[in-house]
A and B are shown apart, each in its own frame.
Chain A
Amino acid sequence: MAAQQQLGREHQGITLRGSAELVAEFFSYGINSILYQRGIYPPETFTRVQKYGLTLLVTTDPELANYLNNVTEQMKEWLYKCIVQRLVVVISSIESSEVLERWQFDIECDKTAKDDNGPREKSQKAIQDEIRSVIRQITATVTFLPLLESACAFDLLIYTDKDLAVPAKWEESGPQFIANSEEVRLRSFTTTIHKVNTTVAYKKDSVP
């Protein structure tokens, strides 16, 4: 498999494993950006890194980083198996535990990629350009999303295929929808194997 991956890189194409890695990496940076931009954690617990030609902020809190890493690793595996349908970042108020914001990443897997082993024709640069524009949009959402007045916590939900055996440490959950929400669709990107559509839903202001 490693040899194939090597081959894929050389040909400037993309393999299933490479695609899974790219998408999982995108989720890691995307979630970090959301947590920073929405002020879920104090800004001083984030550090700057260069990625996708952007300066992104990544948490330095060891416990949070570990949690995100666990999820990302699991996502990578499921992406590779093409059994994941959606990743949702749920932001809810700690006090009332009301869901205030819901970041939804719909994943369309091209399941035929599991069978044919050849790499797809799309350069890593083209994919990264697409990812960059999605991350830029996440950063820009602060301007229109309503202010999170109370202290908030976040949760990650992953929609998988029905026949998946639930791994240890994981549990089933409800969809945690927002009552009376407004939705904004962001850009999407594709690795030709995985396509990710991003939408953010937020609670409508009670006062119009």
Chain B
Amino acid sequence: MAQFLFEADLHGLLKLDTPIPNAPPARWQRKAKESGPGPSPVCVSPMKPANRSHSSSKTPSKTPGKSGSKIQSTPTKAGGDRYIPNRSTMQMEMANFLLTKENDPAEESPTKKEQQKAWAVNLNGFDVEEAKILRLSGKPQNAPEGYQNNLKVLYSQKMTPGSSRKNSRYIPSMPDRILDAPEIRNDYYLNLIDWSSQNFLAVALDNSVYLWNHATGEIIQLLQMEHPDVYISSVSWIKEGNYLAVGTSSAEVQLWDIQQQKRLRNMTSHCARVGTLSWNSYILSSGARTGHIHHHDVRVAEHHVATLAGHTQEVCGLKWSLDGRYLASGGNDNLVNVWPCTQGGGGDFAPVQTFTQHQGAVKAVAWCPWQMNVLATGGGTSDRHIRIWNVCSGACLSTVDAHSQVCSILWSTNYKEFVSGHGFAQNQLVLWKYPTMTKVAELQGHTARILNLTMSPDGTTVASAAADETLRLWRCFEMDPIKKKEKEKANSAKSSIIHQSIR
């Protein structure tokens, strides 16, 4: 029998987490017994300070030997040990209650079934036992491809400009002038106004082109198409301002002399309407509905010198860079292509860059006047973003959500800013700071979407043509007279220095 007792003892000793049965009571137990006035020494109210026994017999019993010896070796400090010097602030019973309560289900003592039911109701929102969820198999067809929620444009408008920084100059919020543009074609893909270096504003109204002299205010009708169904789809001034290129819906590209008010040439090479034109000295580039871009050398009889095939749909934005090295084109296929001015090794033109990030037709294309390789592009209704590119590296330098169709972008030559024209819902012009891309101002007034923007030769005025059949002139880049003088002075000082050095 004795060996069994021994075995039981051994078991007891090996089980560390049970109290040693016949060990002398630990000091805390003895103390509790002595001090406890009531019959149950374990159950002491938590309010009683400095009494370790209210941690209940559970905790010390886990390592009874250890805790006993530890307490004996430490100098007796009221109710504390080396690690937790003061237990009096701990609400042990409260903590214990909360700990155990957390694991309990909501009911006091639920039967298993009830508990499961409660869980099911909580998780599924219905009782699995009592309900069934049915659906008609086969989903209703989705909205057609490309459909976009109209509310999106309506409810994602922001009234306040992105930046509240005080603007240093005065920008008139009203247009300087409003001109009527009856029968202007409300077609996003056309380019209907252009302002020449000789201060003539060319406006294409359906099948005729009018010239408005900004200096004198007189209006000349330059041309009218013979066939009533043919309309003007694009106009573009040569840099010198004495010739106007006109693209028509009958796929012609015409060249008009302003002095004589006569047609010089009629160049046919396209087979669809010519929606956009851009000059690079004697090369006139034209983009057509077919997606092809043609280069016309206007000096020679065989004018069609090159074809650039990089778009699958209508080309609506076309701009030569100011140094004439690159041609940027944007199309209805959401692509932006950047073309070199000369063909590659094989004799074919291939784009040096193709940007695919826009989600809508790209009509707004503009080159930065002070950084030659920076290009700004803006997307249509389904995109609504303005993107700035470095065409050498192909990197997108910055992107800003304009919250509205971008129809045109123009860089200011007077300030480090650019202006963009927009459609639904506010039909406004927005002035942006570059490179911070913060809004400087919003110019509102048009009652229908803006179609085109063009800038006066002195860079102070922006003309906007809109579908509300008006042209509005905004003096948004007016030079500060003091700064202007300083600039002129600086220029003259520079020239005098050069002059001296030469002497």
Residues of A within 8 A of B (CB): 39-43, 63-64, 67-68, 70-71, 74, 85-86, 94, 142, 147-149, 151-162, 164, 166, 169-175, 177
Given contacts A67-B136, A148-B151, A155-B135, 5 further A-B contacts (CB under 8 A): A151-B147, A158-B133, A158-B135, A164-B134, A173-B134
Chain A nearest CB: distance from B181 CB in Å? 29
Residues of B within 8 A of A161 (CB): 130-132
Q: How far is the CA of A156 from the CA of B147 in the complex (A)?
A: 22
CA separation between A155 and B38, bound complex, in Å? 69
A-B CB contacts (within 8 Å), total count: 100
Bound together, the chains give a CA A63 to CA B130 distance in angstroms of 33
Contact with A174, one of B133, B136, B138, B155 (Cβ below 8 angstroms): B133
6 contacts between A and B (CB under 8 A): A41-B143, A86-B131, A148-B151, A151-B142, A156-B136, A164-B132
- In chain A, what residue has the closest Cβ to B127? A162
Selected contact of B133 from candidates A142, A147, A151, A157, CB within 8 Å: A157
Contact of B137 among A153, A154, A157, A171 (CB under 8 A): A171
**Smallest CB separation, B338 vs chain A (Å):** 31
Contact B132 A162 (CB under 8 A): yes
Closest chain B residue, CB of each to CB of A158: B134
> Could you tell me if B139 and A153 are in contact, using CB atoms closer than 8 angstroms?
yes
Q: Which A residue's beta carbon lies closest to that of B131?
A: A159
Contact with B142, one of A94, A157, A169, A172 (Cβ below 8 angstroms)? A94
Task: Say yes or no: is B260 at the interface (Cβ < 8 Å to chain A).
Answer: no
Contacts of A153 in B (CB 8 A): 139-140, 142-143
Q: Known interface pairs A67-B136, A70-B136, A171-B135. Does A43 touch B130 (Cβ–Cβ under 8 Å)?
A: no
Interface residue ranges, B against A (CB under 8 Å): 124-126, 129-144, 147-152, 155-156
A41–B371 CA distance with the chains assembled, in angstroms: 45
CB atoms of B140 and A154 under 8 A apart: yes
Bound: A157/B137 CA distance, A: 10
Task: Give the docked Cα–Cα distance between A16 and B405 (Å).
Answer: 54
Instruction: Across the A-B interface, give the 9 residue pairs with the lowest CB-CB distance, nearest first.
Output: A39-B149, A67-B140, A173-B135, A171-B137, A159-B131, A173-B133, A158-B134, A147-B155, A153-B142
Q: Which residue in B125, B137, B138, B152 is a CB contact (below 8 Å) of A177?
A: B125
Measured between beta carbons, the chain A residues less than 8 angstroms from B156 are 147
Inter-chain contacts of B144 with A (CB < 8 A): 42
| Residue from the list B129, B133, B143, B150 in contact with A172, Cβ < 8 A | B133
Q: Is the CB of B134 within 8 A of A166?
A: yes
Docked CA distance A158–B139 (Å): 14
From the candidates B124, B134, B138, name the one contacting A157 in the complex (CB within 8 A): B134
The answer for the CA separation of A175 and B133 in the assembled complex, in Å, is 7
Q: Which residues of A contact B148 (CB under 8 A)?
A: 151
CB-CB nearest in chain A for B156:
A147
Q: Are B135 and A162 in touch, CB under 8 angstroms?
A: no
Give Cα distance in the complex from A193 to B125, angstroms: 24
Instruction: Name the contact of B132 in the complex, choosing from A40, A64, A155, A160 (C-beta under 8 A).
Output: A160
User: In whole Å, how far is A161's beta carbon from the nearest beta carbon of chain B?
Assistant: 7
Q: Which of B125, B129, B137 contacts A169 (CB 8 A)?
A: B137
A170 with B135, Cβ < 8 A, contacts A40-B143, A151-B147 known: yes
Task: Check A172 against B140 for contact (C-beta < 8 Å).
Answer: no
Given contacts A39-B150, A41-B143, A153-B142, contact A86 B126 (CB under 8 A): yes
- Complex contact A43–B141 (CB within 8 A): no
- Cα A206 to Cα B369 with chains together (Å): 41
Q: Contacts A63-B141, A147-B155 given: A160-B136 contact, CB under 8 Å?
A: no
Counting chain A CB atoms within 10 Å of each CB, the highest count among B130, B137, B151, B152 belongs to B151
CA distance A86 to B135 in the complex (A): 12
Contact with B134, one of A42, A64, A151, A160 (Cβ below 8 angstroms): A160
The CA of A147 and the CA of B152, in the complex, are separated in Å by: 7
Please report the C-alpha to C-alpha distance between residue A95 and residue B499 in the assembled complex, in whole angstroms. Answer: 68
> CB distance B147 to A171 under 8 Å?
no
**A24 to B: closest C-beta gap in Å:** 14
The verdict on A42 contacting B132 (CB below 8 Å), with A148-B149, A170-B137 known, is: no
CB distance from A33 to the nearest CB of B (A): 14
With a cutoff of 8 Å between Cβ atoms, the chain B residues found around residue A94 in the complex are: 142
Are A71 and B132 in contact, CB atoms less than 8 angstroms apart? no
Chain A residues whose C-beta falls within 8 Å of the C-beta of B155 in the assembled complex: 147
| Docked pose: A70 CA to B139 CA in angstroms | 12
State in angstroms the CA–CA spacing of A174 and B126 once bound together: 11
B77 vs chain A, min Cβ distance (A): 48
Across the interface, B135 reaches (CB within 8 A) one of A41, A64, A151, A156, namely: A156
Contact residue among B130, B136, B137, B143 (Cβ-Cβ distance under 8 Å from A42): B143
Name B146's closest neighbour in chain A (CB-CB): A151
Q: How far is the CA of A39 from the CA of B156 in the complex (A)?
A: 15
User: Complex Cα distance A177/B137, Å?
Assistant: 19
Q: Which B residues are CB-close (under 8 A) to A43?
A: 150
| Pair A155/B139 contact, Cβ less than 8 Å | yes
Considering only CB atoms, which chain A residue lies closest to B135 in the complex? A173
Interchain CA distance A129-B147 in the complex, whole Å: 35
Contacting pair B134 A170 (CB below 8 A): yes
**In contact, A162 and B130 (Cβ under 8 angstroms):** yes
Question: Measured between C-beta atoms, what is the minimum distance from A139 to chain B in Å?
Answer: 13
Closest Cβ–Cβ distance, residue B446 to chain A (whole Å): 24
A57 to B128, CA, bound (A): 36
List A contacts of B150 (CB < 8 A): 39, 43
Contact, CB under 8 Å: B126 / A64: no
A155 to B139, CA, bound (A): 7
- The CA of A59 and the CA of B126, in the complex, are separated in Å by 32
A170–B143 touching, CB < 8 Å: no
Q: Are A175 and B151 in contact (CB under 8 A)?
A: no
| B residues less than 8 Å from A85 (CB atoms) | 126, 131
Q: Could you tell me the distance in whole angstroms from the C-beta of B136 to the nearest C-beta in chain A?
A: 6
CA distance A152 to B133 in the complex (A): 22
Minimum CB distance partner of A169 in chain B: B137
Q: Given that A42-B144, A147-B149, A151-B147 are known contacts, is A175 also in contact with B126, CB under 8 Å in the complex? A: yes
Q: How far is the CA of A153 from the CA of B141 in the complex (A)?
A: 8
Q: How distant is A40 from chain B, measured CB to nearest CB, in Å?
A: 6
User: B151 to chain A: which residues have CB within 8 Å?
Assistant: 39, 142, 147-148
